[in-house]
């Protein structure tokens, strides 16, 4: 959020520096990067609730059928868009044995959501606070013994 706000302080300069297409792509990435963790958990909970206890899978008319089709397509598409690149990267790096770790993805996404909500609250209460993540050097899979 802080990065997006810093880059959007001067939108004209952003568009001049990147050009219109790249600037719009950057803005889309920024928006998705902080909007998804904020709205993902409530939408996922609503989807699961309607699937388990509601009428999601039993639409009553054409309009509900269209909404159900869109909702389920987005859910399935989101899962595929999340996990296919990860699995492909694991295969390319020879790390297929770590694929079961993807079962922890819901917990990771919950932590990401909690961090996003915390950041949003801190942005409102302490707008000049910027909690930066410490980053170290990346190691290759072979060097890490994986």
- Domain membership flag for residue 144: no
Please state whether the predicted TM-score (pTM) of the whole model is above 0.75: no
- Domain membership flag for residue 94: yes
Segments in the chain below pLDDT 50: none
Residue located via tokens 């309607």? 50
Residue 24: predicted pLDDT: 93
- Domain membership flag for residue 77: yes
Q: CA 105, CA 83: separation in Å to the nearest integer?
A: 9
- Domain membership flag for residue 139: no
Residue 111: predicted pLDDT: 92
Residue 97: predicted pLDDT: 94
Return the half-sphere exposure (C-beta side, CA atoms, 13 A cut-off) of residue 90. Answer: 14
Range of the domain at 47: 2-127
Q: CA 23, CA 4: separation in Å to the nearest integer?
A: 12
The total of structural domains in the chain comes to 1
């Amino acid at each position: 959020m802080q990065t997006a706000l810093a880059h959007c302080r001067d939108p004209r300069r952003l568009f001049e520096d990147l050009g219109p297409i790249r600037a719009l792509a950057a803005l889309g990435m920024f928006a998705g990067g902080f909007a998804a963790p904020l709205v993902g958990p409530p939408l996922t909970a609503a989807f699961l609730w309607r699937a388990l206890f509601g009428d999601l899978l039993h639409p009553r008319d054409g309009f509900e059928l269209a909404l159900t089709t869109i909702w389920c397509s987005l859910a399935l598409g989101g899962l595929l868009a999340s996990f296919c690149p990860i699995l492909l990267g694991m295969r390319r790096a020879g790390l297929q044995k770590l694929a079961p770790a993807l079962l922890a993805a819901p917990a990771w996404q919950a932590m990401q959501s909690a961090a996003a909500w915390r950041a949003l609250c801190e942005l409102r209460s302490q707008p000049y606070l910027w909690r930066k993540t410490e980053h170290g050097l990346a190691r290759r899979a072979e060097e890490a013994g994986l």
